[in-house]
């Protein structure tokens, strides 16, 4: 019983570390803000409707895939590098077909990688 | 830099509105609710939102103290390395504030659920036939008030999210600039940039204290 309890506590502590210690933020903006925002996904999660064209999401550190729903399925727009306690801003141009990522800072070789 | 700081006071009032709205929502008798089964997930959303706001207040108080300490220490920095470390710590604190109000965070989700509950209540009350016209009108008016204050508070929370995002961006951009300056051995200039951050951080700390004073968790 005690072992199970200790195990559960250890798991909770680990979950807390993962949640608090390895988190960054992704800000997604759509331009123009008045345009109907496309259905976006960050990794497997659907991004809820963007309020006033902007949303800020808490994401685990690493690289996340920003995708848009199209007639032929999900289409990858860009990769977003999420760094600990930093915010990466990605602007999605809804006027382009398909929509296009505009990174405030890009990877040195790959312009489709946004870095915070 | 000025926007996120100047608007924190308004955010404080907003959180107060949310707390007040939730207090009324949890205390107000809901006759229609007592006679019909609620959806379990929705029924607990208000309580959970209230609880989360209480937690938010506690953690914001702690973070506020740390930011204040950070502002004091950054002023006395003698080397850019110390300054960079301090900015990194401040990013962690601001990150926690932002995480608490992120769109995919629990508070935001619960706020949306609370709003949805108010909408559902209004819809069901309008179709209600059990009550006298004046009773029904009273309930509808109360729920409309609650819905309006909840919606307004959620809008203000959106603003808080924007302010915290800008503050975090300012810190990380300055940190990157300091890093670049150090690479070209411009240590004095880097130290100057660090010291310039002091006023902004101190202002943010003051505004955050005001925000804490305005949060009134339901039931308190």
Q: Please give the ipTM for the structure prediction.
A: 0.76
Write out chain A residues lying below 8 Å of B104, CB-based.
45, 48, 57-58
Q: In this structure, what are the phi and psi dihedrals at residue A68, rounded to the nearest 5 degrees?
A: -125, 145
Write out chain A residues lying below 8 Å of B92, CB-based.
85
| pLDDT: which is higher, B196 or A66 | A66
Strands A113-115 and A23-31 turn out to be unpaired
| Pairwise CB contact (< 8 Å): A56 & B92 | no
| pLDDT: which is higher, A23 or A7 | A23
Query: Does B73 contact A at CB distance below 8 Å?
Result: no
Note whether residue B220 is domain-resident: no
Distance of residue B93 Cα from the nearest chain A Cα, in angstroms: 9
Q: Kindly identify which residue of chain B lies nearest to residue A55, measuring between CA atoms.
A: B103
Write out chain A residues lying below 8 Å of B176, CB-based.
none
pLDDT tier, A87 (very low <50, low <70, confident <90, very high otherwise): very high
| CA angle, residues B197, B169, B151, in degrees to nearest 5 | 115
Note whether residue B141 is domain-resident: yes
Pick A57's closest partner by Cβ from B92, B94, B104.
B104
Lowest mean pLDDT among A14-23, A27-36, B176-185: A14-23
Note whether residue B127 is domain-resident: yes
Instruction: State the pLDDT at residue B122.
Output: 94
Query: Which residues have a Cβ under 8 Å from the Cβ of B173 and sit 6 or more positions away?
Result: none
| Pairwise CB contact (< 8 Å): B88 & A51 | no
| Pairwise CB contact (< 8 Å): A56 & B98 | yes
| Pairwise CB contact (< 8 Å): B103 & A57 | yes
> What burial letters (b/e) apply to B153-184, b meaning 16+ CB within 10 Å?
bbebbbbbbbbbbbbbbbbbebbeebeebbee
Q: In this structure, what are the phi and psi dihedrals at residue A33, rounded to the nearest 5 degrees?
A: -60, -25
Note whether residue B112 is domain-resident: yes
Query: Is the pTM of the predicted complex or chain greater than 0.90?
Result: no
Give the number of domains in chain B: 1
Instruction: State the pLDDT at residue A58.
Output: 96
Instruction: State the pLDDT at residue B17.
Output: 45
Averaged over successive runs of 10 residues, the pLDDT of chain B (220 residues) comes to 46 48 38 39 60 74 81 82 87 89 86 87 93 94 84 74 85 90 88 83 71 51
Pick B91's closest partner by Cβ from A48, A58, A86.
A86
Distance (Å, whole) CA A1 – CA A8: 11
Host domain of residue B48: 2-214
Strands A23-31 and A54-60 turn out to be antiparallel
Which residue ranges form the domains of chain A, and what is each CATH number? 23-115 (2.60.40)
């Amino acid at each position: 019983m005690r072992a199970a309890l200790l195990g559960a506590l250890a798991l909770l502590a680990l979950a807390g570390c993962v949640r608090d210690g390895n988190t960054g933020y992704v800000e997604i903006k759509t331009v123009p803000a008045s345009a109907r925002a496309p259905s976006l996904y960050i990794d497997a999660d659907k991004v809820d409707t963007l309020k006033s064209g902007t949303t800020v999401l808490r994401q685990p550190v690493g690289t996340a895939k920003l995708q848009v729903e199209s007639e032929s399925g999900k289409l990858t727009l860009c990769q977003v590098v999420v760094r600990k306690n930093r915010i990466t801003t990605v602007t999605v141009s809804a006027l382009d077909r398909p929509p296009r990522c505009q990174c405030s800072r890009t990877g040195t070789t790959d312009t489709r990688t946004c870095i915070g | 830099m000025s926007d996120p700081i100047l608007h924190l006071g308004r955010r404080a009032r907003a959180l107060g509105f949310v707390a007040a709205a939730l207090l009324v929502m949890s205390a107000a008798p809901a006759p229609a609710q007592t006679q019909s089964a609620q959806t379990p997930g929705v029924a607990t959303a208000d309580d959970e939102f209230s609880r989360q706001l209480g937690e938010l207040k506690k953690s914001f108080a702690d973070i506020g103290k740390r930011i204040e300490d950070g502002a004091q220490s950054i002023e006395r920095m003698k080397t850019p390395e110390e300054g960079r470390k301090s900015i990194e710590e401040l990013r962690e604190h601001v990150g926690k504030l932002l995480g608490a109000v992120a769109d995919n965070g629990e508070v935001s989700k619960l706020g949306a659920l609370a709003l949805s509950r108010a909408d559902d209540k209004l819809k069901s009350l309008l179709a209600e036939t059990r009550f006298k016209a004046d009773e029904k009108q009273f309930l509808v008016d109360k729920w409309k008030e609650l819905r309006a204050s909840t919606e307004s508070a959620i809008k203000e929370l959106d603003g808080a999210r924007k302010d915290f995002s800008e503050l975090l961006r300012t810190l990380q951009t300055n940190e990157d600039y300091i890093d670049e300056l150090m690479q070209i051995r411009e240590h004095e200039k880097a130290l100057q940039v660090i010291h310039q951050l002091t006023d902004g951080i101190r202002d943010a700390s003051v505004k955050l204290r005001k925000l804490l004073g305005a949060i009134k968790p339901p039931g308190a």
